[in-house]
Amino acid sequence: METIIRLQEIFYLFKNECMDNLTDDELLEFMKEQFDTVCFGDPDYLKGTCLAVFAEAIRSGYRDYCKKEGRAEHLMQAVLYCIEEGCRQSAALAGGRKLFAKESYQRGYELVKEKARLCLKQYNEMLSGFCSYGNENYYDTVCKALPGFFRTYDGRFAPQETIITMDYPVLLPLHQLTEIDVIERYISYIQLEQVFLGAFEEEKVCRVLGMFQKNYRRQFYNICSVFLRHLLGTILLRFGKCGKTEDRYTVLREIVQGYSKEELKGILNQAVDALVCKMWEGQQELAEYLKADTEEYSAALVRAAENDCLPAVVVL
């Protein structure tokens, strides 16, 4: 009960007139100090009970929102994010000693800054050889949106914000990640795509994309998937008899109909492993990324074979 009363006192302090005279720096320092006082130096308690109560107080304390409440909640989330970052390594770095909230925050803030620095370095390395293959969304996301993120990312007052929407879709999900971790993983996935596509002539990649859809340049799908499916489709043709006079799609349809979706997925995964082993010296991270598409691809092949519309799924 004393903790809740203390949290309420802090909340009302955020709402009073003196808050107008506080800079964001002063308010941030005040919040960290108060969290240590309220939580008795226990970050776990801070992340659980105290911040839950504090967040609820901000949401329900007044019927009408104002800039003060929004500002307080925004900075509270910034503090929490940095504290959580610090707590993740506190056991290893502090020899099992529990860190005070303020100490966890500072350690987390330094980690966030380092992540952002390494992320920018990774982006610059990827950008030096980047090719969009004519796809406008791919180009705009990598060459316009990502630089915008690095220009505006605020590791001190808004480390929890991702800022950009990442309109170009990658093959693996990002929903379990937040903030700078999302951007780092997103860039690493695009980097893997560039390694994969870069092993082939740009003209060949563009030709396959154009055969799949004439206006592919203005589409919002993953172009790496289109080219990967083309390669895997040609590999599948080896399972049947495909002479010069036989229609490749007819042959592929007969092959696909001979397997279940799960069996087909297994064959596609083996094909990816073999391809990566041959062309990229078995780079495991690339193989796992490409195999993220085989679940959907195998299901699409089965449906397309049943409905005799394989050209809508794969370029042969």
Give a yes or no: residue 268 inside a domain: yes
Q: What is the mean pLDDT of residues 103-121?
A: 86
> Could you give the CA distance from residue 221 to residue 239 in angstroms, rounded to a whole number?
29
**Cα(119)–Cα(247) distance, integer angstroms:** 48
Take residue 16 and report the two structure tokens written for it.
């009073």
Residue 120 within any structural domain of the chain: no
Interhelix angle 179-197/284-291, nearest 10 degrees: 100
Taking only the tens place, the pLDDT of each residue in 262-295 is: 999 999 999 999 999 999 999 999 999 999 999 9
DSSP sequence for 198-229 = TTS-HHHHHHHHHHH-TTGGG--S-HHHHHHH
Share of the chain above pLDDT 70, in %: 68
Same domain, 166 and 64: no
Question: CB–CB of 240/316 below 8 Å?
Answer: no
Cα four-point dihedral sign 38, 44, 48, 51 = positive
Answer yes or no: do 152 and 202 share one domain: yes
Q: Report residue 14's pLDDT band, with 50, 70 and 90 as the boundaries.
A: low
Q: Domain for residue 112, yes or no? A: no
**Are 151 and 260 in the same domain?**
yes
User: What single letter denotes the amino acid at residue 272?
Assistant: V
Residue 113 is assigned to a structural domain of this protein: no
Same domain, 94 and 187: no
One domain for residues 266 and 196:
yes
Torsion of CA 17, 18, 19, 24, to 10 degrees: 150
Task: Check whether 245 has a pLDDT greater than 50.
Answer: yes
pLDDT at 280: 97
Number of domains in the chain: 2
Q: Where does a domain end: 106, 140, 156?
A: 106
- C-alpha closest to that of 105 among 19, 184, 46: 46
Is residue 297 in some structural domain?
yes
pLDDT class of 176 with cuts at 50, 70, 90: confident
Q: Is residue 116 part of a domain?
A: no
Q: Which helix (H) or strand (E) holds 86?
A: helix 67-88
Lowest mean pLDDT among 20-34, 200-214, 241-255: 20-34
Together in a domain, 56 and 192: no
Question: Which segment, 8-22, 80-94, 227-241, is predicted with the most confidence on average?
Answer: 227-241
Instruction: Measure the CA–CA gap between 266 and 298, rounded to whole angstroms.
Output: 9
Which of 140-154, 196-210, 283-297 shows the lowest mean pLDDT across its residues? 140-154
State the amino acid at position 210 in one-letter form: G
For 104-135, give one letter per residue: b (16+ CB within 10 A) or e: bbbbbbebbeebbeebbeebeebbeebebbbb
Neighbouring residues of 252: CB distance < 8 A, sequence distance ≥ 6:
233, 236, 237, 240, 305, 310, 314, 316
Residue 119 counted as domain residue: no
Residue type (1 letter), 15: K
Q: Where are the alpha helices (H) located in 213-312, listed in sequence order?
A: 223-236, 248-256, 261-279, 284-291, 294-306
Section 97-113 average pLDDT: 73
Residue 170 DSSP code:
P
What's the rounded Cα separation, in Å, for the pair 104 and 192?
34
* Whether the predicted pLDDT of 129 surpasses 60: yes
CB 306 within 8 Å of CB 264: no
CA atoms of 292 and 79, how far apart (whole Å): 35
Residue 198: pLDDT over 70: yes
Q: Given this model, what pLDDT does residue 210 score?
A: 98
Q: Does an H or E element contain 184, and which?
A: helix 179-197
Q: Contact 79/35 with Cβ under 8 angstroms?
A: yes
pLDDT tier for residue 17 given thresholds of 50, 70 and 90: very low
**Which residues form the domain of 75?**
2-106
Pairwise CA distance, residues 271 & 173, whole Å: 22
Least confident of 61-65, 140-144, 181-185, 297-301: 61-65
**Residue 208 one-letter amino acid:** V
- Are 148 and 98 within one domain? no
26 lies in the same domain as 96: yes
User: Are the beta carbons of 112 and 82 closer than 8 angstroms?
Assistant: yes
Token look-up 């308690």 returns 45
